[in-house]
Amino acid sequence: MCGIFACHCHPDIQKFKPTALRLAKAVRHRGPDWSGNFVDNNTILAHERLSIVGVDSGAQPLVNDDGTLALAVNGEIYNHRILRKGLKTEYNFKTHSDCEVIIPLYMEHGLDAPKFLDGMFSFVLYDKKEDRVIAARDPIGVISFYLGRSSQTPGTVYFASELKCLHPVCDNIIAFPPGHVYDSKTDTMKRYFEPKWWDPTNVPSTPVDYKLIRETLERAVRKRLMAEVPYGVLLSGGLDSSLVASIAQRETLRQRAAQNGAANGHADGSGLVGIDDANELSTVTALPELHSFSIGLPGAPDTQAAIEVAEFLGTKHHAFTFTIEDGLNALSDVIYHLETYDVTTIRASTPMYLLSRKIKGMGVKMVLSGEGSDEIFGGYLYFHAAPDREAFHAETVRRVKNLHLADCLRANKSTSAWGVEARVPFLDKQFLEVSMGVDPKEKMITKDRIEKYILRKAFDTSDEPDVKPYLPEKILWRQKEQFSDGVGYSWIDALKDNAELHVTDEMMKNPKPEWGDDIPDTKEAYWYRMMFDEHFPSYCAGTVQRWTPTWSKQTDPSGRAISTHIAKYDHVE
């Protein structure tokens, strides 16, 4: 993970430079390894680096030979080696960075360059010859990114990885839309990511192919092991993180065998092993063993499940605990880093934020995480109430489109707050194309089918005697627990109780006028909004969306509040 701040068309860029560097410093937590900047004409690009790939040579901003193109990137480009090989014109690469390929791609394809990228990213590229800036964000918005403007400098456009860089100088800020590219020449946004499933009215009818789902997810995990630093997996004990951990462990063991016997892959003397180059994958560092991480209150449902999975897989597991006081003490910091007041996101992000600090303290810089699966497969318990396949599909599309405001935001900012990078295999472009293209009737929850049935079935090897099981059966078929519930039910109860202490009935009746129509409907929501306002001006609220379930009258977004969960779990509460 890295941090970007950039601005274009500033009336006095030299005078503004010290301010720009100070604003970039506000995201140094995202990139604690190095700082760099590029200034030319009326444009500045500032970059705070977290080194994962091209550790020895990937300092940014990246600049071409004649200094006419400069690039600041946050993210990872998984197919960078394939892209390098496919360039029509020879380009002199200065680094081993996976991101540098964006420059020659722009030289060949212009605004279409982001279409070729397979990865998670936000970038700002300055073209000196045309005095032009283009900026883009990955298809789903895994990487956070914002665009701002100021009434004090009309005509200037600002970009940053986080709100906290922009609000001191901007009075109009939007979340940069995922899957779009901005062109300063026309001052417009254009959607470059247009998959078949994007239109919710185009309901797919393709039968489920369990083998294809399995193979595509395995491939998505493998390509995300591209790293030259210690990595691990977040393992909550739920289905999604457990599958990611299982695939990553299989790949880790395969690499170890390949390295030992040099039977698969090729040693290059650097401790790296090339994996599946023909399949558009890249290099990874082979570690002695895969580390997995979980967190919860003492006795949390997820912790025990995570330990069981880790023992089954053979990962080196670290089960951390936190206290309710730890969580409550961190809330204001969590909201500052997350830049949201959404109840669901804050509940789930606080344990993840605390866990990320522990992970960073162990020297791990990159982790795999399981976000996206529930949106793709309709895994949230409220999907039980979907009336038909058309409505089910429309809701999955809506959820995937809004991930950048919810779970992607949580995964990206909870981890980057401590200089850790989270990668999310379920949001791989190819996996999305396969899984969102399945007839939604196959995904619907029935008396005979638990939520995410087709994903579970894809990794069920009970009728494949020659294939080692991916997970214990009780984990593979375990019912959904939302992360904020799974870390321990008393966590949410404590949040509600403390909100009662901070927000009175009178305050609920008299919300702040500047909140407009966005009125908190619970004391917990009101409390979070007050903390948000302590950090950010009211106009930043336009970048926030509150998570609410469909087909449900519940006011609490917790999965535990859904009747399906109560029927299943009331004996343990």
109-168 pLDDT per residue, tens: 999 999 999 999 999 999 999 999 999 999 999 999 999 999 999 999 999 999 999 999
How does DSSP assign 318-338, residue by residue? Answer: EEEE--HHHHHHHHHHHHHHH
**Cα–Cα distance list, 474 to 148, 253, 296, 297, 383 (Å):** 48, 24, 20, 22, 22
- Among 162, 194, 226, residue at a domain's last position: 194
Q: Clarify whether residues 188 and 255 are in a common domain.
A: no
- pTM for the whole thing? 0.93
Pairing verdict, β 69-77 and 43-49: unpaired
Average pLDDT over residues 302-324: 96
Rounded to 10°, the helix 210-223/239-261 angle is 60
Q: Clarify whether residues 374 and 480 are in a common domain.
A: yes
When pLDDT is cut at 50, 70 and 90, the band that residue 563 belongs to is low
DSSP 289: S
Pairing verdict, β 231-234 and 291-296: parallel
**Cα–Cα distance list, 80 to 53, 99, 367 (Å):** 11, 7, 20
What amino acid is encoded at 33 in this protein?
D
Task: Output the pLDDT for position 487.
Answer: 72
CATH number for the domain that contains residue 124: 3.60.20.10
Query: In which domain, by residue range, is 63 found?
Result: 3-194
pLDDT beyond 80 at 7: yes
Cβ contact 319:488 at 8 Å:
no
Nearest CA to 363 out of 224, 227, 229, 245 is that of 229
pLDDT beyond 80 at 471: yes
Q: Clarify whether residues 475 and 564 are in a common domain.
A: yes
Nearest CA to 212 out of 471, 475, 433 is that of 433
Pairing verdict, β 146-149 and 172-175: antiparallel
DSSP 491: H
Summarised one tens digit per residue, pLDDT across range 360-407 is 999 999 999 999 999 999 999 999 999 999 999 999 999 999 999 999
Structure tokens at 138: 């990955």
Residue 292 maps to a domain: yes
- Among 194, 225, 246, residue at a domain's last position: 194
What are the backbone dihedrals phi and psi of residue 368, each rounded to the nearest 5 degrees, phi first?
-95, 145
User: What's the 3-state SS for 8-72?
Assistant: ECCCCHHHHHHHHHHHHHCCCCCCCCEEEEEEECCEEEEEEECCCCCCCCCCCCEECCCCCEEEE
Q: What percent of the chain has pLDDT over 90?
A: 82
Q: Clarify whether residues 170 and 214 are in a common domain.
A: no
Q: What does the mean pLDDT of the chain come to?
A: 91
- Among 194, 221, 245, residue at a domain's last position: 194
Summarised one tens digit per residue, pLDDT across range 32-56 is 898 999 999 999 999 998 877 767 7
Q: Clarify whether residues 170 and 223 are in a common domain.
A: no
CATH number for the domain that contains residue 337: 3.40.50.620
**Bigger pLDDT: 226 vs 521:** 521
Residue 403 maps to a domain: yes
Compute the distance between CA of residue 404 and CA of residue 177 in angstroms, rounded to an integer.
9
Task: Output the pLDDT for position 302.
Answer: 87
Residue 199 maps to a domain: no
Structure tokens at 488: 């321990």
Q: Clarify whether residues 423 and 537 are in a common domain.
A: yes
Task: Output the pLDDT for position 344.
Answer: 95
Average pLDDT over residues 307-315: 97
Task: Output the pLDDT for position 129.
Answer: 97
Q: Clarify whether residues 221 and 184 are in a common domain.
A: no
Task: Output the pLDDT for position 474.
Answer: 92
Compute the distance between CA of residue 379 and CA of residue 443 in angstroms, rounded to an integer.
9
Whether a cis peptide bond, with omega within 30° of 0, leads into 61 is: yes
pLDDT beyond 70 at 176: yes
What amino acid is encoded at 155 in this protein?
G
**Cα–Cα distance list, 475 to 17, 234, 244, 254, 292 (Å):** 53, 16, 13, 23, 16
Cβ contact 310:235 at 8 Å:
yes
**Bigger pLDDT: 286 vs 327:** 327
Task: Output the pLDDT for position 59.
Answer: 80
Q: Clarify whether residues 487 and 565 are in a common domain.
A: yes
Average pLDDT over residues 305-328: 97
Summarised one tens digit per residue, pLDDT across range 416-460 is 999 999 999 999 999 999 999 999 999 999 999 999 999 999 999
Which active-site residues does the annotation give? 2
Residue 202 maps to a domain: no
Cβ contact 274:268 at 8 Å:
yes
Q: Clarify whether residues 230 and 139 are in a common domain.
A: no
How does DSSP assign 151-169, residue by residue? Answer: TTSTT-EEEESSHHHHTTT
Average pLDDT over residues 193-213: 96
In sequence order, which residues have a C-beta less than 8 Å from that of residue 524 and are 6 or more positions away? 343, 495, 496, 499
End-to-end CA distance of the chain: 38
Residue 463 maps to a domain: yes
pLDDT beyond 60 at 283: no
Biggest CA pair distance of the chain: 71
Q: Clarify whether residues 36 and 74 are in a common domain.
A: yes
Domain count across the chain: 2
Task: Output the pLDDT for position 284.
Answer: 47
Residue 325 maps to a domain: yes
Compute the distance between CA of residue 165 and CA of residue 523 in angstroms, rounded to an integer.
29
Q: What percent of the chain has pLDDT over 70?
A: 90
Task: Output the pLDDT for position 34.
Answer: 87
Task: Output the pLDDT for position 52.
Answer: 75
When pLDDT is cut at 50, 70 and 90, the band that residue 21 belongs to is very high
Pairing verdict, β 188-191 and 180-183: antiparallel
Task: Output the pLDDT for position 281.
Answer: 44
Residue 203 maps to a domain: no
When pLDDT is cut at 50, 70 and 90, the band that residue 485 belongs to is low
**Cα–Cα distance list, 480 to 15, 142, 282, 451, 469 (Å):** 54, 23, 33, 8, 20
CB atoms within 10 A of CB 533: 17
Lowest-confidence range among 24-38, 48-62, 479-493?
479-493
Task: Output the pLDDT for position 265.
Answer: 46
pLDDT beyond 80 at 76: yes
Average pLDDT over residues 515-542: 97
Summarised one tens digit per residue, pLDDT across range 238-271 is 999 999 999 999 999 988 888 777 644 444 433 3
When pLDDT is cut at 50, 70 and 90, the band that residue 572 belongs to is very low
Q: Clarify whether residues 133 and 88 are in a common domain.
A: yes
Average pLDDT over residues 543-567: 72
Structure tokens at 253: 């063991």
CB atoms within 10 A of CB 456: 21
Q: Clarify whether residues 517 and 459 are in a common domain.
A: yes
Residue 216 maps to a domain: yes
